[in-house]
Amino acid sequence: MSRNFKVSYKEDMALLQNGWQKGWLVILVLTLIFVPLFLGRYQLSILNEISIVLIGALGLNLIIGYTGQLSLAHGAFVAIGAYSSGLITGKLALPFLLSLPLSGLIAAILGLVIGIPSLRLKGLYLALGTLAFGFIIEYILQHWDLTQGDLGMGVKRITIGDWTIKTQLEYFYFLGTFAFLSVLVTSNIVRSKIGRSFIAIRDRDIAAEAMGINIIKYKIIAFALSAFYAGMAGCLTAHFNRWLVPSSFDISLTISAIAVIIVGGLGTVLGTVLGAILITGIPHAIVYIVDIFQDSYPALSGIVVEIKLGIFGLVIIATLLIEPRGLVGIYQRIKVYWKTWPFKY
C-alpha cells in the first residue's frame, strides 16, 4: 500500500490517482461508446433512465452526502426543471441548449426561497421546510392552468441545431455524455475549496466556522447547486418522456433518489453512480424475474409495482443498519481484504 506515496500536492489532488484508474476509465468509456450499438431499445431506455437519475442524485449527494444537510425537495426541483423546460421550449419557443441551464437556474432560484430561511438555522429545519416546499410545488402544478395539472403537458423533442434526437440510441449518446460531464464536474467540485468546505461543515460545523468558512454561504451554495442539478435532471426527464404530469414528481421520487445515494454511499461520487445503476435496475430486474413466473401467478406484476417504494424503503433501512457507507464501503472492505490476503489487516 505504501506504493501510493504522494510527494507533491498536485499528485495528491489528482482526479485519477494512478495508471490503473486511467486504464479502467478508458475501458469504461470505450464500452459505453460501443456496447450500446448492440443493445435493444428496452436495454437502452434503462441506460437512459440511469443517466438521468444519476444527474439528479449527484446533486442530492452534494447537499445530503457532502454538506450533511437533509433536503427533501428533490422531487420538487426535478418537477420545476421539467415544467420550466417544457414551457420554455414550448410556449416561448427557445432552443433546448438555452432551456437546459435555464431550467436548472429556475430550480435553484425557487429553491432559495425556502433554502435561505431554513439554512440559517441548525438542525432539521431544512428537512421540514423542503418537505413542505415539495407538497406546495405539487399543488401549484396541479392547479395552474399553465401546467394543466392531471391533464398533462406535452414536451417537444430535443433539437440541437439541425439535429433532432429521436431514437433511444441517440438519446443514450446525448444523456450518457451529459451524465459523464456531470460526474466530472461533481468530482471537481468536491476536491476544490468549495467541496472541502462542504465536507468541513458536515463533519464539524463549529470547527469549520472557526477556520474561517462562512457556513451559511457554503450551505446555500450547496443547496443551490443541488437544486441546479435536479432542475437539469428534470429538464432531461421532460424531453425524454415528453409527457409531464405532476404526480410523477411526488415524494416517492425523492425517496428513490435518497435510496440511490444511501445505497451507493453518502458523500462519494462513485457511490452515486453505483447506486443509480442499482436502484434504477432493481424494478427492471424484478419485472424480468416476475415475467418468468407470469404464467403461474398472473397477479404478481401488479404487486411489484405496488411494493416498489417499500423495497426502496427496505433498502434504505438495511443499508443504514448494516453498512452505512453503502456499496462503496463494501467495495473498500473487499479491496482491503484482498490486498492483505491471507493475513488479517
Q: How far is the CB of 250 from other proteins (least distance, A)?
A: 11
64 binds other proteins (CB under 8 A): yes
Sole binder of other proteins in the list 131, 221, 238, 253 (CB under 8 A): 131
143 binds other proteins (CB under 8 A): yes
- What the block records as the C-alpha cell of 211 is 477556520
128 binds other proteins (CB under 8 A): yes
Q: Which one-letter amino acid corresponds to residue 152? A: G
| Separation CA 168–CA 47 (nearest Å) | 9
Smaller CB separation from other proteins, 32 or 309:
309
Sole binder of other proteins in the list 14, 39, 70, 112 (CB under 8 A): 70
- What the block records as the C-alpha cell of 45 is 431506455
Candidate segments 24-32, 64-72, 156-164, 174-182, binder of other proteins by CB under 8 A: 64-72
Smaller CB separation from other proteins, 101 or 117:
117
Exposure class string for 246-285: b at 16+ Cβ within 10 A, else e = bebbbbebbbbbbbbbbbbbbbbbebbbbbbbbbbebbee
Per CB under 8 A, contacts with other proteins among 247-276 are 252, 255, 258-259, 262
The answer to whether 294 and 301 are in contact (CB under 8 A) is yes
Encoded one letter per residue, x for contact with other proteins by CB under 8 A and - for no contact, window 298-317 reads -----x--xxxxxxxxxxxx
Q: Look at residues 96, 24, 67 and name the one whose alpha carbon lies nearest to residue 270.
A: 24
Its sign, for the CA torsion 39, 330, 320, 112, is negative
What residues does 159 pair with on adjacent strands?
164
132 binds other proteins (CB under 8 A): yes
Candidate segments 10-18, 138-146, 157-165, 212-220, binder of other proteins by CB under 8 A: 138-146
The answer to whether 224 and 115 are in contact (CB under 8 A) is yes
Q: How far is the CB of 114 from other proteins (least distance, A)?
A: 6
- What the block records as the C-alpha cell of 332 is 473498500
Candidate segments 74-82, 110-118, 150-158, 218-226, binder of other proteins by CB under 8 A: 110-118
Sole binder of other proteins in the list 51, 118, 226, 280 (CB under 8 A): 118
The answer to whether 25 and 16 are in contact (CB under 8 A) is yes
| Separation CA 239–CA 89 (nearest Å) | 10
Q: How far is the CB of 75 from other proteins (least distance, A)?
A: 12
Residue 100 phi, psi (nearest 5): -65, -55
Q: Look at residues 132, 131, 81 and name the one whose alpha carbon lies nearest to residue 108.
A: 81
- Number of residues near other proteins (by CB under 8 A): 49
Q: How far is the CB of 281 from other proteins (least distance, A)?
A: 18
**Sites of contact with other proteins (CB under 8 A):** 64, 68, 70, 72, 114, 117-118, 121-125, 127-129, 131-133, 135-136, 139-140, 142-146, 206, 252, 255, 258-259, 262, 303, 306-317, 320-321, 324
